[in-house]
Amino acid sequence: MNLIYTLFYKIVQLSFMGSFIVACILLSKKLIKDRIGVKFQYAIWFILIFRLMLLISPSSNFSVYNYVPAYENTMMNIPVVYHNTEKTPINDNKDERVGKTDTSNGVPLESLKKSELKSFDPIALAKKVIPFIWVCGVFIIGSIIFIINTLFFNRIKKCPHINDPSVLTILDDCKNLMKLSKNICLVKTNVVKTPCVLNIIKPIILIPEYSLEKFNLADLKYILLHELAHVKRKDIFINYIVSLLCIIYWFNPLIWYGFHKMREDREICCDSLALSFLRDDEVKSYGFSIIKIAEISLWAPCLPAVAGIINKNSKIKRRIEMIKVFKKNSYRLPAFALVVLLLAGIAFLTEATESKASSTEEMAGSTDETSTHQIVDKIDYPFVDDEDAVGKWETVDFVREIEDFKVNVTSWQGGLYLKSINLLPNGQMTQPVASGITSDETTPIDWMTWTKGYIIHHGDKTAGKYAIKEIDGSKYMFWEWKSGDYTIRGMKPSYYVLKQVTGSTTEEVPNSAEETSTQRIVDKIDYPFVNDEDAVGKWETVDFVEEIEDFKVNEVSWQGDPYLLSINLLPNGQMTQPVAVGITSDETTPVDWMTWTKGYIIHHGNKTAGKYTIKEIDGSKYMFWEWKSGDYTIRGMKPSYYVFKKVK
């Protein structure tokens, strides 16, 4: 299901880009009207086709999307994929040591309220339901078109071939004129009301019975030339592609309208190609034949396999006007038009540059990298000293806006996960103190640094701004907390409020693992140790799945780089520091805040006990471990599973 969610939001992005292309093409055609050649008017629609088909395209400074504000907003919202919203090992429970253990351990969702924790999340529900509706729409519309095509072909199979020597002679003459060597059959039928061609490999031209009665041989020649023009230009193949795109983008009427206008231009282009093979004195007769067919029927089946000479609501007047002023070289595509198409392709088929596709600069500097799952900040700031920032800071509150903070009034209702931070000179920091995690506050770490105005997490690639204010004689730091709500969901960060501590920076900070707010789910964790020989050893992450049954060897379900990289279970229920992005471990020294017993891996800081299951698959052992992040402890969601493979 993760792939469906990711694909759907990419389709939404491409739908927006396609709509913009349709609008630009229609506007340009209206402004320049018929001052451009018919072949160029048709060819420019292929930019729309390629744009809708390209799931991945390079970024460019020449991309028009650099200058479309609505596009930037779309890009910021689209990465909010449902599987990341509910279960995200990347940011929500990232670091058991840092205090990034989720947006949960004291860190709320954007505007999370006490009453909201017990209610369902309508946005998350919508993000789950809408992709499902899209898939259903694709299946239903695709099935309907397939059934109609099948019934249509079955009826055509029963129709007789035309064996009239005079008609077949005209067909051969037209083929020779257009240098077509394909074997093309003529079929007489009442299934269609206008002449049309179908099939890609073995084309069939359908001739309504009335055509043989009401049209003379000259009219049949013009009809056959038009249909052979469809064959020569590979219009049936393009028809299939357009129909497939209409199915995929069924929810966007502007794209459907764009392809409708493309079909109109296709018919004029075919007229132009057919006329290029006629003598000047035959051009007028060709136009009269078009009018004669239009008087009898304005309908042809709108099917991927069919291209007709007359389509419903086609612009007959426009076609006749083109025929009236037709010139022999009007079908050619001049070099200037090719250059314009090339430049338009670069402008519309490339993505906006990453620096302009993000609007997060006000919060943390310009974003220099983005992925389909994660916002990544600019973090390569040079160090600038700030004497006011150096020292130890203890957490006193968590607020949505800096203005919300009031001394002696606690805004956040619940236990705060982050307890304190210690900023050393020269941009270094010690291990932050959090629930279940202590620090000697003297040894610098390499995955968190600071510079004037920013605290940088190199593992998450986030730069949270800080502001220092003096209130009632004390210094307070307001630090943007860029959890998964920001990096995954694109929400505006809230602020940790920290008060500067006077005195020793090595003052012992109480372990608040026993502090549990009424809002958190707390598991039973006082299990006695029971040995499990199969569990002892090192396990490396290979996937992250919603259900154990979703895992398949050699297929990665989780689209992205998982945060947790490996765990090491020692004998007697001990564990070493888990290895994660930005966090290494000597894998020999046990930690006291994580243990295990047969069937469970226990986090004493979070008070969670995640079940594990070991299975042997294709000769290798795999462990499936319930990942009890804030989605479980705060939001009450069902945990997903980290999948580990045992290292031999």
Mean pLDDT of all residues belonging to the chain:
78
Contact 595, 602 (CB under 8 A): yes
Query: From its phi and psi, is residue 628 left (phi > 0), alpha (psi between -120 and 50) or beta?
Result: beta
7-10 long-range Cβ contacts below 8 angstroms, 24+ apart: 8/130, 8/131, 8/134, 8/135, 9/78, 9/79, 9/80, 9/81, 9/131, 9/372, 10/55, 10/78, 10/372
Q: What is the pLDDT of residues 507-556, one digit of tens each?
A: 333 333 333 344 578 889 999 999 999 999 999 999 999 899 999 998 88
Q: What string of DSSP letters covers 163-209?
A: --HHHHHHHHHHHHHHT--S--EEEEESS-SS-EEE-SSS-EEEEEH
The domain spans of the chain are: 160-327, 363-514, 537-646
* Residue 250 pLDDT greater than 80, yes or no: yes
The residue among 307, 183, 175 whose CA lies nearest residue 228 is: 175
The tokens for 574 are 């001990």
List CB contacts of 94: < 8 A, sequence separation 6 or more.
100, 101, 102, 459, 460, 484, 563, 580, 581
- Taking the C-alpha atoms of residue 42 and residue 322, their distance in angstroms, rounded to an integer, is 14
Q: What is the pLDDT of residues 196-232, one digit of tens each?
A: 888 888 899 988 887 777 778 888 888 888 889 899 8
- Taking the C-alpha atoms of residue 459 and residue 91, their distance in angstroms, rounded to an integer, is 10
* Residue 595 pLDDT greater than 90, yes or no: yes
Q: Say what the pLDDT of residue 370 is.
A: 40
Q: What is the pLDDT of residues 228-247, one digit of tens each?
A: 989 988 888 998 999 999 99
Higher-pLDDT residue of 200, 119: 200
Residue 563's pLDDT band (boundaries 50, 70, 90)?
confident
Q: Of 368-377, 572-581, 588-597, where does mean pLDDT reach its minimum?
A: 368-377
Residue 64's pLDDT band (boundaries 50, 70, 90)?
confident
Q: Among the CATH numbers 3.30.70, 2.40.128, 2.30.30, 1.10.287, which is that of 537-646?
A: 2.40.128
- Taking the C-alpha atoms of residue 58 and residue 366, their distance in angstroms, rounded to an integer, is 19
Task: Give me the mean pLDDT over the 66-87 stretch.
Answer: 46
Q: What is the pLDDT of residues 272-296, one digit of tens each?
A: 888 888 887 787 888 887 777 776 6
Higher-pLDDT residue of 103, 453: 453
List CB contacts of 625: < 8 A, sequence separation 6 or more.
567, 601, 610, 611, 612, 641, 642, 644
Q: Among the CATH numbers 3.90.1150.10, 3.30.540.10, 3.40.50.2000, 3.30.2010.10, which is that of 160-327?
A: 3.30.2010.10
Q: What is the largest CA-CA distance in the chain?
A: 107
pTM of the model: 0.51
Strands (E), 519-580: 537-545, 564-569, 574-576, 579-580
Q: Say what the pLDDT of residue 601 is.
A: 96
- HEC string of 341-402 equals HHHHHHHHHCECCHHHHCCCHHHHCCCCEECCCCEECCCCCCCCCCCCCCEEEEEEEEECCH
The tokens for 630 are 């804030």
* Residue 405 pLDDT greater than 60, yes or no: yes
Higher-pLDDT residue of 411, 437: 411
Q: Of 13-17, 256-260, 499-503, where does mean pLDDT reach its minimum?
A: 499-503
User: Which DSSP category does 492 fall into?
Assistant: P
Residue with tokens 């009219």: 219
The residue among 238, 252, 203, 246 whose CA lies nearest residue 224 is: 203
Q: Say what the pLDDT of residue 366 is.
A: 40
Task: Give me the mean pLDDT over the 289-318 stretch.
Answer: 62
Q: Say what the pLDDT of residue 32 is.
A: 75
Task: Give me the mean pLDDT over the 169-194 stretch.
Answer: 87
394 alpha carbon, distance to own chain's centre: 40
Q: Say what the pLDDT of residue 103 is.
A: 38
* Residue 270 pLDDT greater than 90, yes or no: no
